[in-house]
Amino acid sequence: MTTNPTLNDLTHRAAQDRDRPAYGHDALITCDRLVRIFTTDGVEVQALQGLDLLVREGELMALVGASGSGKSTLMNILAGLDTPTAGAARVAGRDLLTMAAKDRLAYRREVVGFVWQQTSRNLLPYLTAAQNAALPMQLAGRTRTPRSRRAHTGRVLELLDLLEIADCRDRRPHQMSGGQQQRAAIAVALANNPAILLADEPTGELDSHTAEQVFAAFRTANDQLGTTIVIVTHDQAVAGEVRRTVAIRDGRTSTEVLRRSEVDAATGHETVVAREYAMLDRAGRLQLPADYTRALGMRDRVALQLEADHIGVWPDDSERG
């Protein structure tokens, strides 16, 4: 027999809720009801419509979603290149809405690194891979003395080696393949040892084999350097390789897939089990997958029932006799 919670239980739980720590207090990236409205020629586009997202330190996660769903808008905000219209965005303890211009520059140089889809946007064409990777350190003023310059040359070579493009150190972008260019771009992004690496469709222009190698470089950075990484991707293969994939729909996070390895007790085989979750926002709003609601003919209104360990959702039966 299941017993439904009493009003007393619910009141008690509400009191517990009030004592809970603030939303995202321990996350490295916190987006709280983030809104970005673009106005062009008097026409408003709501690119982000109250997006909630938490990313923990050390995560390697993917963002997926249809074209125009707001992924790049979100990445530009997290990169400190654009500012939200409303809501809150905090990254590594910094408030992206109120950050002063000077702090924003330091943030872009030292806290986040980014890799874009267009290989040409990531690298300067007249510099070699090693020179490209050294540039962010020079811009941050970290190479003023001969000693620090030597240390940083060492770091550049280590990075290129880690990303398996040591042989490209003296090559300019046009002398590298698309995959090598993107790995050099990752080296540039990691040069100042950022807490976060953001990548917007970094494998979008690559074939699947090359994309695999570039993704391996992201994984290495995450494993070896502990960098928190957020990758926007259309590539199902990439999305399937991370532990957590968050889907964005119409400027909001909608569902999330978590994958974990399970060892079959009988056979000893390890399999990856993926499970899909719906996002529950702080107002209690839940987006049900369209194929679920369609299958049961649910629209406009559903019936809810609170049980001891779950909530039942039924098609609207109020019109029936």
Pick the stretch among 64-72, 123-131, 256-264, 271-279 that binds ligand ADP (CB under 6 A): 64-72
For Mg ion, give the closer residue by CB, 72 or 213.
72
Q: Is 71 in the site for ligand ADP (CB under 6 A)?
A: yes
Sites of contact with Mg ion (CB under 5 A): 71-72
Q: Is 257 in the site for ligand ADP (CB under 6 A)?
A: no
Residues in the chain: 321
Q: How far is the CB of 35 from ligand ADP (least distance, A)?
A: 12
Q: CA-CA distance, 133 to 127, in Å (whole number)?
A: 9
Q: How far is the CB of 218 from Mg ion (least distance, A)?
A: 18
3-state secondary structure 136-201: HHHHCCCCCCHHHHHHHHHHHHHHHHHCCCHHHCCCCHHHCCHHHHHHHHHHHHHCCCCCEEEEEC
CA dihedral 76→260→256→85, nearest 10 degrees, is -30
The count of chain residues that interact with ligand ADP, using the rule CB under 6 A, is 12
Beta-carbon contacts of 249 under 8 Å, excluding residues fewer than 6 positions away, are 65, 66, 69, 287
Q: Decide which of Mg ion, ligand ADP, none touches 40; Cβ closer than 5 to 8 Å per partner kind.
A: ligand ADP
Q: How far is the CB of 250 from ligand ADP (least distance, A)?
A: 9
Q: Is 252 in the site for ligand ADP (CB under 6 A)?
A: no
For Mg ion, give the closer residue by CB, 72 or 233.
72
Spell out, one character per residue from 39 to 58, where the chain touches ligand ADP: x when CB under 6 A holds, - when not: -x----x-x-----------
Q: Is 70 in the site for ligand ADP (CB under 6 A)?
A: yes
- What is the SS3 assignment for 106? helix
Q: Decide which of Mg ion, ligand ADP, none touches 286; Cβ closer than 5 to 8 Å per partner kind.
A: none
Q: Is 246 in the site for ligand ADP (CB under 6 A)?
A: no
Q: CA-CA distance, 218 to 185, in Å (whole number)?
A: 11
Among 32, 64, 69, 189, binds ligand ADP (CB under 6 A): 69
Report the amino acid identity of residue 12.
H
Query: 146-151 long-range CB contacts below 8 Å, 24 or more apart?
Result: none
Q: Decide which of Mg ion, ligand ADP, none touches 296; Cβ closer than 5 to 8 Å per partner kind.
A: none
Q: Decide which of ligand ADP, Mg ion, none touches 45; Cβ closer than 5 to 8 Å per partner kind.
A: ligand ADP
Among 24, 50, 65, 80, binds ligand ADP (CB under 6 A): 65
Q: How far is the CB of 211 from Mg ion (least distance, A)?
A: 17
Strand-pairing partners, residue 29, are 55, 91
Q: Is 81 in the site for ligand ADP (CB under 6 A)?
A: no
Q: Is 72 in the site for ligand ADP (CB under 6 A)?
A: yes
112-116 and 94-95 strand pairing: unpaired
Strand-pairing partners, residue 26, are none
**Distances in whole angstroms, Cα of residue 61 to Cα of each of 54, 89, 99, 160:** 11, 18, 26, 23
Q: How far is the CB of 88 from Mg ion (least distance, A)?
A: 22
Separation of first and last alpha carbons in the chain: 29
Q: CA-CA distance, 167 to 176, in Å (whole number)?
A: 10
In the complex, the residues that contact ligand ADP under the rule CB under 6 A are 38, 40, 45, 47, 65, 67-73
